[in-house]
Structure 1
Amino acid sequence: MNKIMNPEKSSWETLLERPTQNLDDIEEIVNSVFQEVKAKGDKAVKNYTKQFDGVTLSNPKVGEVEVSEACAMVPDALKKAINAAKNNIEKFHGAQRTTKIEVETTRGVQCWQEKRPIQKVGLYIPGGTAPLFSTILMLAVPAGLAGCNQIVLVSPPDKNGKIHPAILYTAQLCGIEEIYKIGGIQAIAALTFGTETVPSVYKIFGPGNQYVTVAKQIATKHGVGIDMPAGPSELLVVADRSANASFIASDLLSQAEHGTDSQVILVTTSEKLMQEVEAEIAVQIEDLPRKKIAEKAIENSKLIYLENEFLAIELINNYAPEHLIICSNKEDFYLEQISNAGSVFIGNYTPESAGDYASGTNHTLPTNGYARQYSGVNLDSFMKSITFQKISESGLKNIGPTIELMAEAEGLQAHKNAVTIRLNSLK
């Protein structure tokens, strides 16, 4: 990892750059795929699946028999773990429900807000280098709690034209019936436009590589909503001499193994801890099955020493990490001062992996600095707030003159007339 000692603030912007590709090149590819899927539907999806995934599928939809066979292949111990995680995620997201808000703003003027589910949602589940069945829990559970009418799941097939058994087991556990073996750009395009087989949706959820991230952003140009621009995984750990170096190294590697374009950062006020963490990473990485992936990610990653916690929190808020782990005897300071982070993990015994799988919080989070303006996925992500109002005769008499004066001042006579006509009828 790159070691940086007391970097000047003027260098922070360059120092904290993410290891991303040229998005202009990616956008050109995405637009090309989108245009073809829009024009040719299933045929285009089939061709791109063959090109990108190396498999030809006569029908991308997963049938009941295939789901049953996959469920039988999942070990009972894993099924039990998935069920336990699902229960915790349901508890946390179920607690996020809010009640109807109703206010009489002026006598006779009643205003209220209610939430309604998004009717049609698409869930993108990565399945390339790692089958992220846990992401199904993070998306399908709140979608179900919200009451979405149609939940469509897409995930890339393997070379045998199959989806990982754990993905199919988790999908059926969450009550998802529409599952398609489609990945990458073509999956996002299919959910955007719809094909002869795949229904279009109103909002697309789920993480992916940079191609999927750009595809989701392009989808918004075609009237489809997205959860957030969620790209390669990232983790920042802030720690002092009270932290355990082996714990920190394991956390950094847990995110580094996600992909070669992942980024992990240690910010510390202890030079000794920095050295210990670097040594631990060198030891622990040797035993990882995904060592080559982790090594590439480590090349993009940094160990940063800063003199005090004031500089540390300023740098963290500037970076806006997807995941933030706090291992410090000044824990309260960081909790009070943190403004930009997707999800925060506190203390030596709170690994980021807990949020990835089973603590109950959601692991679909903003990356690439988007934690400055985006929240992670939650129950409200699958809902819309609709406002209502009802005005009585006396209410219109109370508020009417205000509306008339404001409309006239803006030069919108018809707006004023809509009130004046009603007020005249009440005289």
Structure 2
Amino acid sequence: MKLWRLCVLGLFLLGSYVASAQNKFTINGYVKDTTSGESIIGATITINGKTVGSNQYGFYSITLDSGEYDLTVSHVSFVSQSQRLALVQNLEQNFFLFPRSAALNEVVISSRRRDVNVRNAQMGQIDLSINQIRNVPAFMGEVDILKAIQLLPGVRNAGEGNAGFYVRGGGPDQNLIMLDDAVVYNTGHLFGFFSIFNSDAIKNTSLIKGGMPAQYGGRISSVLDVQMKDGNTNKFVTEGGIGLIASRLSIQGPIKKDKASFIVSARRTYIDALVKPFIKKESNFYGSGYYFYDLNAKANYRFSDKDRLYLSGYFGRDVFAFRNAKLSFNADIPWGNSTGTLRWNHVFNRKLFANTTLVYNDYNFSFGAAQNNFEIKLASGIKDGTAKIDFDYYPSGAHKIKFGGISTYHKFTPNVFSGRQDSVVFKPSNASEKRAFENALYIQDDWD
């Protein structure tokens, strides 16, 4: 008799649990820019006081009880959008927002300050879209991300004309700077006056000044995560600019409408061309000069609503040349970064989003000098190969779990020296290469 009663009680509890579970449904989808089709990073989706943010690919997910809800999607650079939903089943809902520059808005004065910074579990994070950064006065006509973040509280520059920055007392070398998940070791052009980030190719910049999320590893000072544009999926767009220091040109557009797109952006300084007319051919210094250039490229393809592939890359160089005909002395000093990133997004279900990433990045510095029949060359560099996978799991409401793993292979070349005197070649085996593996697993639980 007792066993029969326990079975009935167990079935009753199980039925109650199943009924409760059946009354919960999930809304998921992407938040995008309606003019370009670009995903919007860090958009806030608010439903009856519960909020969730879109991730770096614009994906969001939130689970609620069945019923009618007022939903609002907002972002500081876009016009907010609201609608009423009747949640009676799982729903896939994409939102397309208009940029604020594309619409005339009224001025809203509020007596209550926004308290997201104290309600959000992530502390010290500031997201800046490229539209916000362009509102900052530009030095010599060049919109500079690193100069813009130096105006934020807790951040100061590392000296006049220097692309480095200090965050809350940390040194410039204690900042993690990433471009599409690739570590950038050298962030400055023109000996530090300008950053390597071409504003025409950048979509969003996130600065984390404290409590760095687990996926970035143990960082002492700050994380600066820079994301490139995906490319306009609606139409072809060409833009450019001519400044006092450099000129730039960007082309973006659909490869296949609403399916694939690309962007190519290039920038080059013409300091060498401006200075050249003032140096006569008879001058001992004719042929000396300096220039830098950047090339950003990215393409993406959407296989289905659940799978999308991204391929992006950056290549930049500074080149300094010095000539002295009187002393028969020549010196060439090139240096710069190269990065490549391949990413695959996959939506397993309405609550689980995954991103698999392969990254290659390379930094090289070289010094070469020659006088008469004597030549020397010095070189150093860093190469990394990284594979990682990240999962975003949204169990319920404003609850988000992020977990994954990363493996990085480092190759350090502190110095390589070689030389030549007439027919005698001096090339010792002195590369002193250092290799290392860095592996990590992480999990973080964000529950507002």
TM-score exceeds 0.5:
no
Higher relative contact order (CA 8 A, sep 6+): 1
TM range (shorter): under 0.3
Point out the structure with max Rg over C-alpha.
2
TM-score by length of 2: 0.21
Normalising by structure 1, we get a TM-score of 0.21
Greater helix content? 1
Greater strand content: 2
